Chains A and B, each alone.
Chain A
Amino acid sequence: MRQRLLTINKLSVTFGGLHALKDLDFHVDEGEIVSVIGPNGAGKTTFFNMISGMVTPTSGDIIFKGESLLGLDPNQVTAAGIARTFQNVRLFANMTILENVMVAQHCRTRQGIWGALLQTRSFKQEEREIREHAELVLSFFGTRLVGYRLDQPAAVLSYANRRRLEIARAMATRPTVILLDEPVAGMNPKESAALTQLIGELRSDWGFTIVMIEHDMSVVRDVSDRVVVLDHGETIAQGSYEEVSTNPDVIEAYLGRPAKESA
């Protein structure tokens, strides 16, 4: 029995009378890859925002490793071990690629003003470690983000590489759980297949637990242990990909067509 990492109980949020999420129950076990799918506007991104502390739920509870995350600031949630990426890639566009990843290790490092001013040995040591870890994380994506790219601003990257850099940035926070918001959006089939494999490696080689929102059903099918379907802020089905894709409720949510084709 794998350990339960993240449990969400009866989570609801309302924006001006509109239920973005309603009595949502959800859980993730250690080492799992869970996909969250659902039609547009189903509340998937709100769901992520809520876990990462950017939106405060109206009611319900989020329990991570036995402790509630409610009332924590986003940076504390990240420090607790939940990192995320954004649907509309939000990199620090004018910082270099290396800096983007270095800055993400903020919550895992300690040196403050005095270290920097006095150039203490521990400061230099830590800077070196930050840099090494950043390069290690970036090298996960092959040669795309390393070498001469390290010192280029993130703004010059192609769309697909920005997505990769965002994942690298999330990895650099040394999380337990990574929330991926549409990781393959805007990629071609070949690239998404490669990234799907990398997502698998994120679990097998790096030991991350992954929750991802994805519209591309082939990615969902290939990589996820479990699929959760949201519609109108409620869970309408969950289970393995096969179970979910044949569930009549899910098919109905996707306008009556089979979930597979509507991707």
Chain B
Amino acid sequence: MPSPETAENTKLTRRLGVDTFLFFMRVVMSTFVILGLLMFIGQQIDPDNFIASRINPDATGLTAAQFEGLVISGLSQGAMYGLIALGYSMVYGVLGFINFAHGEVFMVGAMTGMITSNKLDESGAWESNFALSLLFVLVIAIICSTLTAVIMERVAYRPLRGSPRLIPLITSIGVSFFIQNVSVVLLGPGAKSYPTLPDWLAQKHELFGFITIEGTRLMVLVVAAVSMVALWYLVERTKIGKAMRAVAEDKEIASLMGINVNRTIVTTFAVGGAMAGVAGILWGLLFRSVVHTTGFLPGIKAFSAAVVGGIGNMGGAMAGGITLGSAESVAPLILLEPWGINGVSQLKDAVAFLVLIFVLLVKPTGLFGERLSTEDRA
């Protein structure tokens, strides 16, 4: 009988090349961040200190007002990311896949908002009765984006439940592509703008005596907070929320417990869609312009926010959004600029992706922990 040779001489290396490389990358990235931060502080103290004069001769340092502006714009942007991220997070929690097309649901919200508000503007209602027409626009946008999300689930994702993991993901890329291009062929490829806002909203306001904030940004923060509380109530305090959590845990058992799994999944998509719709309107009011690609980058960033906050975790999604938004707005100036990199604002999007990569390398379960069933974690 044969005596199979076992590789006695197999050399065991505990650490793979990849691990060493990753360790190295972590160290480099952390060092880069810390040194950048230190140099930024140095610049703040003295823009012409000896390090800055070598590395970044143009250093000027930020004024308090500039800094405040950055933080507030970061926060309001982040709040919107958070609202979109909720949809990603909830769908991932329940179905275990990334609904790549969720960014497009957000875009649909912004688009319908644009159409409705322009129609209202034509009829004069936007000016004469702003609050009411804004409410109307909001309702229409929520309805449209919710419908988009629900139809999407019904047509594209439901038939694929239980298929190999990457299949629904690829499908959602197709859906995203489709919705974007539907917008192009129906509404045209150009950027479209929202009507002008009333002065009291566009102006800067003084808050608590020391914060100056634009009305729109304040509104974004308030609306985001209200939606978040409403969502929290829905998920934690109602029967529907309980059903959602049960389905997220185990679909089969949930259905044995008399929960209508399909309806719960549709509800999840609907709620996520509604949140994206709200975010879409806020986006429109803040930037007053919308194109078919509006949904793409915010969508990806919102997903990053969901991961940063810990996917499946709703509070985490909001916190992740705010973290990412602030990082993206502040980090280029305080971490990259001190290195003498010019045109840092161009690298804003790159920074957002780097935050995602950094978090996944250092703490893959997100800052606030994942909430997933074991099968989805595999």
Question: What is the interface of chain A, defined by CB distance below 8 A to chain B?
Answer: 67, 71-73, 76, 79-81, 107-108, 133, 136, 171, 174-176, 205-207
Contacts and interface: CB of A to CB of B under 8 A. Distances in A.
B4 A174 contact: yes
Contact of B16 (A73, A133, A205): A73
Given A71-B14, A72-B12, A175 B2 contact: no
Contacts of B16: 73
Interface size class of B (residues with CB under 8 A): 10 to 19
B2 A80 contact: no
Contact of A79 (B1, B5, B10): B10
Interface in B1-58: 1-7, 10, 12-14, 16
A184 to B, nearest CB: 23
Contacts of B7: 79, 81, 107-108, 174
B12 A206 contact: no
Nearest to A109: B7
A67 B12 contact: yes
Given A80-B10, A174-B6, 13 more contacts: A71-B14, A72-B12, A79-B10, A81-B6, A81-B7, A107-B10, A108-B7, A133-B4, A171-B4, A176-B6, A206-B1, A206-B2, A206-B3
A176 B6 CA distance: 7
The 5 closest A-B pairs by CB, nearest first: A205-B1, A174-B4, A79-B10, A81-B6, A174-B6
A175 B6 contact: yes
Contacts, number: 34
Q: Which of B6, B10, B13, B14 is the most central at the interface, judged by chain A CB atoms within 10 Å of its CB?
A: B6
A107 B12 CA distance: 12
Contact of B2 (A72, A108, A136, A176): A136
Interface string B92-114: 00000000000000000000000
Contacts of B1: 205-206
B12 A80 contact: yes
A73 B17 CA distance: 13
A24 to B, nearest CB: 23
Contacts of A133: 4
A206 B10 contact: no
B10 to A, nearest CB: 5
A107 B16 CA distance: 15
18 contacts: A67-B12, A71-B14, A72-B14, A79-B7, A79-B12, A81-B6, A81-B7, A108-B7, A136-B2, A174-B5, A174-B6, A174-B7, A175-B6, A176-B6, A206-B1, A206-B4, A207-B3, A207-B4
A205 B6 CA distance: 15
A205 to B, nearest CB: 4
Contacts of B12: 67, 72, 76, 79-80
Q: Which of B3, B12, B16 is the most central at the interface, judged by chain A CB atoms within 10 Å of its CB?
A: B12
Nearest to A70: B14
Contacts of A71: 14
A171 B1 CA distance: 14
B131 to A, nearest CB: 50
Nearest to B16: A73
